[in-house]
Amino acid sequence: MPTAPTEFSLDKQKKILRATNEWEQTFDAVSDLIFIVDTDLNIVRVNRATSDRCGCTPQELVGRKCFEVMHGSAATPDGCPYGVQFENGIKQTFESQIDSLDGYFEVTISPLKNEKGKVVANVHVARDITEKKRREELLAEQQKQLEEINSTLETRIESTLAELRRKDEIIIQQGRLSAMSEMISSIAHQWRQPLNNIGLIIQSMQIAFIQNDLSADEMNSAVNNTMNILQQISKTIDEFRYFFSSEKEASVFFVDKLITRSLTFIGPSLKNSDIRIEFDQQPALQIMGYPNEYMQVILNIILNARDAFLEHQTQNPIIRIAITEDDGHSSVIISDNGGGICEDILPKIFDPYFTTRHRKNASGIGLYMAKMIIEKKMHGSLTACNRECGAEFRIVV
């Protein structure tokens, strides 16, 4: 005859029931997917997160094959860990992409054993790591791109630098060709008088010959005078060729001598425009650099001063050139009384293709080229400012 439950047994049942309810609530509150699979791969228990992710109720999942629910297949997929799990009973953790659940999961399978230690079921816990995986894939892709960029960075830098050097050389050549027209005009003016003198000598010899009044001494004197004039013309040609010869290596040269040589090219043109040059040739300083290109810089600055004189119709135009030495560096100061440079455009005068002149030969590259030669090739500085009634350019190397 069954005995009535005692107060102690009723209290124990209540505690068991309460604990069961708490476990059920905890089981369903976990955000990870949890389900239990028996040895026949049937689902025997799922939490709320699993049923919600599968889009059905827990009751609809219980009794179904796990591979049918998780993989949408009719049989166990290749590489399924459950077979090994039931044999060795060792806890396993792995990552898996589950297409039916549209995500990546970190899966942990823990065995449930009976009192004899035999595995009777597995607890399957799947944590959604889709976002983590996407971030890892994105990071891996970015890392791959970075490695590809780094692998070609040095080559691309060298290629870019080579292209910049090529463009710089083109600009320097453009500046040199621009200066050529100025120098040809100056040389043409410079040769006019010597060529007239040669013509007069030849005419005098012809008249003396017709009048039978040409002695051997007069012949020799006329020939010597003609040869001296031709040697001066030839020297001008050599100087002209030297100016346009290419320079592969830097060399040591005297600054004052190079400026004097520059003035021989454009001196007659300046004189023809009534422009006076005041040149302090002391001290005689030597510097390392590219003399032809340095001469281009001097010529460009002087020609800019000449243009300023013409633009402002300056009375008594003067260009002053001074050479100084400071802390082992040479400074060439070229100043004029041409009215100076407008303060609005002063910061732009060294920009490429910037010009305020509208004459035919104004390319806007002269001062840019000059700055590039001094600062990039000779590692010095070229600056400009306004002083008193004109502009001042300072070349420091």
Is the pLDDT score of 376 beyond 50? Answer: yes
Grouping H, G, I as helix, E, B as strand and the rest as coil, residue 96 is strand
* Amino acid letter for position 382: L
CATH number at residue 388: 3.30.565.10
254 and 390 within one domain: yes
At residue 5, the pLDDT reads: 58
Long-range contacts of 362-367 (CB under 8 A, 24+ apart): 363/174, 363/175, 363/178, 365/171, 365/174, 365/175, 365/178, 366/175, 366/178, 366/179, 366/300, 366/303, 366/304, 367/300, 367/301, 367/304
At residue 183, the pLDDT reads: 62
- Assign 362 a pLDDT band (cuts: 50, 70, 90): low
* Boundary-marking domain end, from 133, 166, 184: 133
pLDDT digits (tens, 9 = 90+) for 69-93: 888 788 877 777 776 667 777 888 8
Nearest to 229 by CA among 283, 257, 193: 193
- Cα separation of 76 and 363, whole Å? 80
Please report, rounded to a whole number, the percentage of residues in the chain having pLDDT higher than 70: 84
Q: Is 215 within the bounds of a domain?
A: no
Sheet holding 43-46, edge to edge: 43-46, 33-38, 119-128, 103-113, 92-98
- Cα separation of 352 and 369, whole Å? 8
At residue 240, the pLDDT reads: 63
At residue 247, the pLDDT reads: 63
Domain count, the chain: 2
Q: Is 337 within the bounds of a domain?
A: yes
Q: Is 53 within the bounds of a domain?
A: yes
pLDDT digits (tens, 9 = 90+) for 131-140: 988 898 899 9
CA within 13 Å, CB half, 218? 12
Q: Is 207 within the bounds of a domain?
A: no
CATH number at residue 33: 3.30.450.20
At residue 391, the pLDDT reads: 94
Q: Is 325 within the bounds of a domain?
A: yes
Q: Is 31 within the bounds of a domain?
A: yes
* Residue-range definition of the domain harbouring residue 27: 5-133
Is the pLDDT score of 347 beyond 80? Answer: yes
* Boundary-marking domain end, from 91, 108, 133: 133
Q: Is 101 within the bounds of a domain?
A: yes
- Cα separation of 225 and 26, whole Å? 120
Extract the tokens encoding 327.
């802390």
